Every structure is written in C-alpha cells, then in structure tokens.
Amino acid sequence: MKLKVEERLIIHLDLEKDSYDIVIERGALANAKDYLDLDRKVLVVTDDGVPKEYAETITSQCKEPVPVTIPQGEGSKNFENYKMLLSKMLEASFTRKDCVVAVGGGVIGDLSGFAAACYMRGIDFYNVPTTLLSQVDSSIGGKTAIDLDGVKNIVGAFYQPKKVLIDPDTLNTLDQRQLSAGLAEAVKMSLTSDAELFERIKNSNDLSADLGEIIKGSLLIKKSVVEQDPKEQGLRKILNFGHTIGHGIEAFYDGKYLHGECVAMGMLPMCSEDVRKELQPVLEKYHLPVSCDAGREELLPFILHDKKMNQSTISVIFVPSIGQYEIREITSEELEQYIPQ
Ligand code: GLY
C-alpha cells in the first residue's frame, strides 16, 4: 500500500524540559541521522516480526551500533529481556552520553524505553515506530513498561523519548490484521475527542489515501492530551478508553488477539446504545472482532487484575456521543454490569 501523506510533518510535543518533535516523513528511516544523534554508541532494538532492513537501515547510520533482535509478541515484554538489554549496554560500556533506538511496534518501544529510562538513571531514547498502532499511539507520550506475572505494564516509568521518527512507508509491509489493530486505537481517539476523524475513518473508501490524515488526526489528539496531563492524573485516562475490558480479554486469551483487537471489543460495552450502533459496523468494516466467547465470569478476574483497579473503585471512560467522553469512577460490582454476559 502506498500511502498518500504530506512530504514532511513535524508535530512538537510541548512538555517543558521534556519537549520533543514527532517527525513524520516518507522514507525517513534512510535519513534517520539527520534527525537523531547516532554519532555514539546506539543500542538498536527490534523484533523478528519487523522486516530486518528497517533496523539495519538505522544501524548502518550509527557510529557504534549494538543491534539486538528479540522474539515478536507481547510475551517479550518481560523482565528477562529488560535485563538482557541492560546487560548489553553494560557489556558495551555504554555511558550516559549513549542512547537507545526502538525500531518496531509497541512491545519494542515499551521495553526499550524502560531500559533507556533505567540504565544509569536514564539515557537518550529515540522511538522509530513501524506499526500503525505505535505510530498513532504508543510511541508518543513516554509510557514505557514491561509485564510481570501476567499483569500488563505493571512495572514501568514515564520517560519521554528525545524524538519520534515516523516513516509511513514502513506500513507498506504491515499485514491487514496489524493495520486494522492499529486503526482501532485511532478509532478510540476519534470517539472520545474528534467526531470528524471518526467520520473520516467510517467513510473511507481508500485507506491508503486517508491514512496520512488519520495518523495526523490521531497524533494531534494524543499531543493535546499528553501536554495537558503527561502523567495520567486525569485527562490522559481517556486514552485508556476500551482498555479496561480490552486488557482483560487480552490477558484471558493470552496471545490469541492483538492488543488493538482487544481494544475494539473493549470499547463497545463502554458506549451509549446510539454510539454502539455507529461503532460496530465501523469495526466490522475493518475486520476487527466485536465480541469473544468468554463471558463475564471468565473475564472479570482478568479485568480486576488490571493495574487501573484502585482499591474500591476504578476509572472507566464512557462515550455518550461521538467526540465526547465521561470519566466514571465505579466499583467492581458496577463494572460487572458493563461486561457482556
Ligand atoms: N496509550 C495510552 C497512553 O499513552 O496513555
């Protein structure tokens, strides 16, 4: 798929001393050294599901590259890989002046970002997202983490990258399922914050023509939310829309569904009847699942394990009409009523 996007777009994320640019440019991988300081030791982290030429293109521009490839999938976001990345840096005598580059999707960004946040109390981190999900959402905003004992993202840090370099050409090699899973996160942002973006996704007849605007629209929402609430004290919770039930489904099925597919299923119960009627056909149009076999009894223990469960209540996001949201503080008993039987 050849995307139609503007020649180059730079979105500045204003976070005072942690501010950075998100550069979106077709073919940007080949020009990475124009944007990233690679004239030092660079840990280049990727996974075996990412076409290897992407990380090689970055590695070839580094003065002293240390390339690492881990197995694809959420299972890699673990303590062993985190320790392995730290050991690689230590073995190669990385100092505070060196850096980490993540080349891949959300798993690679979260894991490498966390290693960068912790090595010598924090070294420079660059994110080069190559999936739609990471380009519209996870590479921005500084959430880094690993999973522990089956609980997703339970150990991590807010650690902003020094730059995010998005090359939309990398989406040309992404399969339809991954593309749709990424689109689910764009749908998520449109539902809480931008009815026009939702219409664009809903009415698209040619995703390759519209994806550039969809990425841009999603990034502008993410920018605005993260700038107002970088550490998820309030507003940023809206980016977790669909994730409470979604994370439960993801944990219960343990790898059967992609993260974005779980978000798609997790959004539907958190909308008004009218929004659900509009949303379901859009998810189906992009071949996203809208329900799963597991019922309330099976999912609830996995949902309550989610880190957002805060003593007696949990914050969930509800969409009463497209482009609007409510942050609801509910008990676990009330949450049960949202989960389909
Ligand atoms: N992906 C949700 C967030 O960045 O807050």
296 counts as catalytic = no
Instruction: Phi first, then psi: give them for residue 47, nearest 5 degrees.
Output: -130, 170
Q: Are 146 and 79 in contact (CB under 8 A)?
A: yes
Mutation probe of ligand 1 site: the residue of 233, 240, 262 with most atoms within 8 A of C-beta: 240
Distance CA 81, CA 184 (A): 28
Residue nearest to ligand 1 atom 1, measured at CA: 138
Output the tens digit of pLDDT for each of the chain's 341 residues. 555 566 789 999 999 999 999 999 999 999 999 999 999 999 999 999 999 999 999 999 999 999 999 999 999 999 999 999 999 999 999 999 999 999 999 999 999 999 999 999 999 999 999 999 999 999 999 999 999 988 889 999 999 999 999 999 999 999 999 999 999 999 999 999 999 999 999 999 998 889 999 999 999 999 999 999 999 999 999 999 999 999 999 999 988 999 999 999 999 999 999 999 999 999 999 999 999 999 999 998 888 875 455 567 889 999 999 999 999 999 988 999 999 88
Burial of 259 (0-12, 13-18, 19+ CB in 10 A): buried
- The closest of 111, 115, 119, 118 to 138, measured between CA atoms, is 111
236 counts as catalytic = yes
Place of tokens 């664009």: 200
What number of other Cβ atoms are within 10 A of residue 73's Cβ? 14
Catalytic hit among 81, 127, 153, 240:
240
Catalytic hit among 232, 237, 250, 261:
232
How far, in Å, is the centroid of ligand 1 from the Cα of 253?
A: 22
Q: Which domains, from first to last, does the chain contain? A: 9-173 (3.40.50.1970), 176-336 (1.20.1090.10)
Catalytic hit among 236, 285, 287, 308:
236
Q: What is the DSSP letter of 136?
A: I
Closest ligand 1 atom, residue 185 Cα: 1
